[in-house]
């Protein structure tokens, strides 16, 4: 009886529910740093450039190891890889609260990134194998709706805890639940690769390194990832410096700025992610470029709002424009990840996600927080000027995704057979 229980496979709905809940904690742990950045800098004597480097350290652990987890995710038991990732990122978050020097802090942020790489790379492929294409984007939209909720909780928990008990406690309490949650999927069997599309035989073919490299010969995949890189460049820096921007440019208190970003992220992010994902699914049924049009047009709409937010002299209008920009940016969350999976062969989905993660972070938000910090230092601490490079990156993302929409409309349907 015990063996039968151990082999029981969860329903697609339960798989989605569990992975979405875990994704919430994934982003909660990640965004606590942004909420407590000001007191952390003061306590450890860290300047803006070094603060940006903490994100770079996280990204080194995250993107450098993602290809390894992608390779393993197309070959090995995915639930064990996911469990290991959750445990490692939670441990790294807790240890961050005990850091006494900048060098030690950097090491622990690398550890957090390493753990999150396993989860972020492999989880979408499990969902993809649980849902048929017609339902897949809605399922992934729900999964990625945990991003704004988790990020918001990071702000909500981090800011007030840091103000009351100190920034160290924020990391300790944020990371502790993950040590237990790492075990939640281990008693159950995982879906077979390609099961949702009846392509288990094709998915069983183990891809070679050459097959993975050939992902860059798929034009649709390349355009999705390049646009996502520019998008991530902007959002990565914005997520780190957003509360600090309000504090410096408009005199908003640290806790108030963190709570504002938490509230806007959870409302605009959750509503935007769900509306964008479900609308894109409906659009895709009528037009096979529906996902791509959703990406390009939503990001394009965010550009004037982002410029307005950074240039407004009024605190009210700056906050209002920020909220509007965040809503439009979250519209693309579900469709962009669906396209990453569906433009790749069925036996390469974990690898496709891994290559995407590697690329968007190596050329995107690995450097953007530090670039903004260095620019602010060069402008004499004027963060308001430094963040103006971020809407420019959004323009690049929008153009690439609109090209993808036009190409998808004209060209043949992308393949989903093994490379």
d(CA 62, CA 208): 23
Six token digits for residue 385: 């000027």
Six token digits for residue 356: 């995407």
pTM, rounded to two decimals: 0.77
Longest Cα separation, the chain: 68
d(CA 295, CA 200): 30
Domains and their CATH numbers in the chain? 2-410 (1.20.1250.20)
pLDDT at residue 3, as a whole number: 45
pLDDT at residue 119, as a whole number: 86
Tell me if 102 sits within 8 A of 73, measured CB to CB.
Answer: no
pLDDT at residue 415, as a whole number: 41
Over the chain (419 residues), the average pLDDT of each successive run of 10 is 54 86 84 82 83 80 83 81 88 89 89 87 86 86 85 78 83 84 78 67 66 88 95 87 82 80 81 92 88 94 93 89 92 91 84 89 84 84 83 95 85 41
Structure-derived torsion over alpha carbons of residues 215, 220, 221, 227, reported in degrees to the nearest 10: 140
In Å, what is the CA distance from 45 to each residue of 34, 40, 69, 349, 382? 16, 8, 35, 43, 19
Give the per-residue SS3 of the chain: CHHHHHHCECCHHHHHHHHHHHHHHHHHHHHHHHHCHHHHHHHHCCCHHHHHHHHHHHHHHHHHHHHHHHHHHCCCCHHHHHHHHHHHHHHHHHHHCCCCCHHHHHHHHHHHHHHHHHHHHHHHHHHHCCCCHHHHHHHHHHHHCHHHHHHHHHHHHHHHHHHHHCHHHHHHHHHCCHHHHCCCCCCCECCCCCHHHCCHHHHCCCCCHHHHHHHHHCHHHHHHHHHHHHHHHHHHHHHHHHHHHHHHHHCCCHHHHHHHHHHHHHHHHHHHHHHHHHHHHHHHHHCCCHHHHHHHHHHHHHHHHHHHHHHCCCHHHHHHHHHHHHHHHHCCHHHHHHHHHHCCCHHHHHHHHHHHHHHHHHHHHCCHHHHHHHHHHHCCCCHHHHCCHHHHHHHHHHHHHHHHHHHHHHCCCCCCCCC
d(CA 331, CA 235): 13
Tell me if 402 sits within 8 A of 391, measured CB to CB.
Answer: no
pLDDT at residue 269, as a whole number: 82
């Amino acid at each position: 009886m015990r063996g039968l229980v151990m082999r029981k496979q969860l329903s697609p709905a339960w798989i989605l529910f569990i992975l979405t809940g875990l994704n919430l904690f994934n982003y909660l742990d990640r965004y606590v740093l942004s909420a407590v950045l000001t007191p952390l800098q003061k306590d450890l004597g860290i300047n803006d450039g070094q603060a940006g480097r903490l994100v770079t350290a996280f990204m080194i652990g995250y993107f450098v190891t993602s290809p390894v987890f992608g390779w393993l995710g197309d070959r090995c038991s995915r639930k064990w890889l996911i469990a290991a990732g959750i445990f490692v990122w939670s441990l790294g978050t807790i240890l961050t609260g005990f850091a006494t020097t900048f060098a030690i802090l950097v090491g622990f942020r690398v550890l957090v990134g390493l753990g999150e790489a396993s989860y972020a790379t492999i989880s979408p492929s499990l969902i993809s194998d649980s849902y048929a294409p017609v339902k897949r984007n809605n399922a992934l939209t729900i999964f990625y709706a945990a991003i704004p909720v988790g990020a918001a909780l990071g702000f909500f928990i981090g800011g007030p805890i840091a103000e009351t008990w100190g920034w160290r406690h924020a990391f300790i309490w944020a990371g502790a639940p993950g040590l237990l949650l790492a075990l939640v999927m281990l008693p159950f069997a995982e879906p077979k690769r390609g099961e949702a599309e009846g392509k288990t035989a094709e998915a069983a073919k183990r891809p070679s390194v050459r097959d993975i490299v050939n992902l860059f010969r798929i034009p649709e995949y390349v355009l999705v990832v390049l646009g996502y890189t520019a998008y991530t460049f902007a959002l990565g820096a914005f997520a780190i410096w957003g509360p600090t921007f309000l504090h410096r440019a408009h005199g908003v208190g640290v806790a108030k700025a963190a709570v504002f970003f938490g509230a806007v992220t959870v409302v605009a992010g959750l509503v935007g992610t769900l509306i964008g994902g479900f609308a894109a699914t409906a659009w895709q049924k009528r037009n096979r470029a529906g996902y791509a049009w959703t990406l390009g047009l939503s990001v394009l709409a965010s550009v004037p709002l982002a410029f307005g937010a950074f240039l407004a002299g009024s605190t009210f209008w700056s906050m209002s424009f920020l909220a509007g920009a965040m809503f439009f940016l979250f519209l693309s969350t579900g469709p962009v990840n669906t396209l990453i999976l569906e433009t790749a062969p069925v036996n390469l989905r974990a690898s496709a996600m891994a290559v995407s993660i590697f690329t968007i972070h190596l050329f995107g938000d690995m450097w953007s927080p530090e670039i903004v910090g260095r620019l602010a230092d060069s402008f004499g601490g004027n963060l308001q000027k430094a963040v103006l490079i971020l809407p420019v990156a959004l323009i690049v993302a929008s153009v690439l995704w609109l090209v993808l929409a036009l190409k998808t409309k004209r060209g043949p349907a992308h393949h989903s057979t093994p490379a």
